[in-house]
Amino acid sequence: MTHDMLDTEVREVMLHAGRVRLGGGLAIPEGARGLVVFAHGSGSSRFSPRNRAVARALRAAGLGTLLFDLLGEEEEALDADTGALRFDIPFLARRLVTVAEWARLLPEARRLPLGFFGSSTGAAAALVASALQPGLVQAVVSRGGRPDLAGPALARVRVPTLLLVGGRDEEVLALNEDALEELGGVRELIVVPGATHLFEEPGALEDVARRAADWFTRYLAEDRTEARR
C-alpha cells in the first residue's frame, strides 16, 4: 500500500481574514499530537508540491497539517501585478496570526499545540507572528527561508526554531547563519548537503521532511495546551 493511500484525507476549508476569504487544506490524523500551519513563500500557494510532500510526511509522523493561501484572490492579482504584498512581512505575519487563531478554535484542533512551517518569505512571517503573539505556537521550522527579513523581531522569538538550508544555496545559507545569531530561544541550523534552494535533489526534500517531523514531535508538547482547555 502506498504512502498516499495511507494518508489522512485532506479537507478543503475556507478561512476568513476580515473580508478576505482564503482557501485551505486541513488534515488531522487520528490521535494527532499537534497541528502544523504552513506559511508559503512569495509567489507560492497551498498547492506547492514541495510543501504538500512535507505535509504528507508530517501526517505520517502523527501531526495535523493546514496548508492555506496567505492572500485572497484580489490580493493575489494585486501582488502578481506589483509584488507589493509578497515582501510585506508585517502584513503576512498578521495574516498568519489570524489563520492560526482560526485553526486553534476548530473543534478537532482545540486541544492541539500549533507549529509553523515556513518557506522563503513565509519563514520570516512565521517568526514575526510567533514574536507578535507569544504562546500562539510552540515551534517553528524554516525551509530555505529568509529569516533575516524578520528583522528586529528575531530577538523576540522565544519558540524553538529550526532553520533548514541547502548546502549549495550559498546566499540564503549566509543569511540564515546571520539570523541564527539574532534568534532568541532554542535554535538550530541544519545544512542539507548538496541541496539547492528548492531541494530538488534526490532525497533532499525527504531529509527536510524527516528533520521537520522530528523537531515538531519534540517541541509540540500536549501539556502546553492546558490553558486553552
Q: State the average pLDDT for the chain.
A: 88
pLDDT at 229: 38
For the entire predicted model, the pTM comes to 0.90
User: In this model, does residue 114 exceed pLDDT 70?
Assistant: yes
pLDDT band at 87 (very low <50, low <70, confident <90, very high): confident
For the residues 99-106, what does the mean pLDDT come to? 93
User: In this model, does residue 228 exceed pLDDT 50?
Assistant: no
User: In this model, does residue 129 exceed pLDDT 70?
Assistant: yes
E strands, the chain, where?
11-17, 20-27, 35-39, 64-68, 114-119, 139-143, 161-166, 187-192
pLDDT at 5: 39
Domain boundaries, the chain: 3-224
Q: Decide if domain 3-224 falls under CATH 3.10.580.10.
A: no
As beta bridge partners, residue 35 has 64, 114
